[in-house]
Every structure is written in structure tokens, then in C-alpha cells.
Amino acid sequence: MRCISSEAAHTTLWVYALLVTRQPCILSAMPQPELLETFPNPYPGRDYEIDMTCPEFTSLCPLGGVESDAKELALLQGGAPDFGTIIITYVPGDVCIELKSLKVYLWSFRNDGIFYERAVNRILDDLSACAKPRWMEVVGDFNVRGGIKSVIRARVGNRESGIGNRG
């Protein structure tokens, strides 16, 4: 089962980028939520938790040119690459996220100039729209950049059961 995305989100982002930068912006067709697939939950009546760790997440810093000493960065649309680990935890509803499609979806961020906060929330929005979980959390644990480490957490739904409560 494939999940289909709306063009409205891309248009909204383009308008926002134009307002912020006051320059015409070229936005990639990434990320690509239409790559996500699901399969029927084998135990839809039971609350259980699925944890997925994706240690090879990459995107581009949206502030290209900050590292002005590297002429090669001019070839990138965005900026220097950002690396991190994405941790997805959810209690499935009627469907579960198919892992290979998740991998390819996360790869679709590779050439996208995107802030950490937007990436994590976009992943959460796309995955929760596709799988409609009872509860989901996405954590972006990003590598140090400029001496600062960032960890971003976003959640949807209510975690009513005691499954995985980390106190």
C-alpha cells in the first residue's frame, strides 16, 4: 500500500522560502513521501512498540555558502552535508511501515537543504499520515556542527499504554 502526498506542502514551502530569503528559490522534489509503503499489522488489537534506528541520515545544510572557504560547496544546492541518526518509535494502528520503503524515503532527503527541526517534523508528518499510528515519536540525533550538538524530538498521538515508557 503506497502513501500519496499533496503538492500543497511543496508550494507552501516555496512561498515561505521566498518570504524568508526575499529571493527566488529552487526547491527540490524532496523528500518523497510517496515512496513510503505499509503492510497490514499482524496484531492490530494489541499495543506493541516498534523501534527503528536509521544511523545514516543525510541532508544538506540549508544555509549554503556559510563555509565560504570550500569552493566545492557552490556545486551543492543547499550547503555542506549534515549527518545524523533518526530514531522512529511507534505503536502501530492497522498498518506497519515497510522498512525498505522507509530507507528509500529517508534517502530522498539526501539532496534537500533543510533545517534539523523541519526534517524531524516532516518525517513525523509523512510517517504518521501514511501509517496512522496510535502513537509515534521521531528523534533526530544530529552530529556536531560548529561545536553544537542538536537532538530534536517530535510526537503525535497519546501514549496511553505503559509500553516503552522511559520515565
Q: b/e string for 76-90 if b means 16 or more Cβ within 10 A? A: bebbbebebebbbbb
Torsion region of 14: left, alpha or beta (phi above 0 gives left; psi -120 to 50 gives alpha): alpha
Active site residues: 61, 82
Q: b/e string for 7-29 if b means 16 or more Cβ within 10 A? A: eeeeeeeeeebeeeeeeebeebe
Q: Which amino acid is at 125?
A: D
Element (H, E) at 98: none
Q: Which three cell numbers stand for residue 82?
A: 549534515
Q: In this structure, how many other beta carbons lie within 10 angstroms of the beta carbon of residue 48?
A: 12
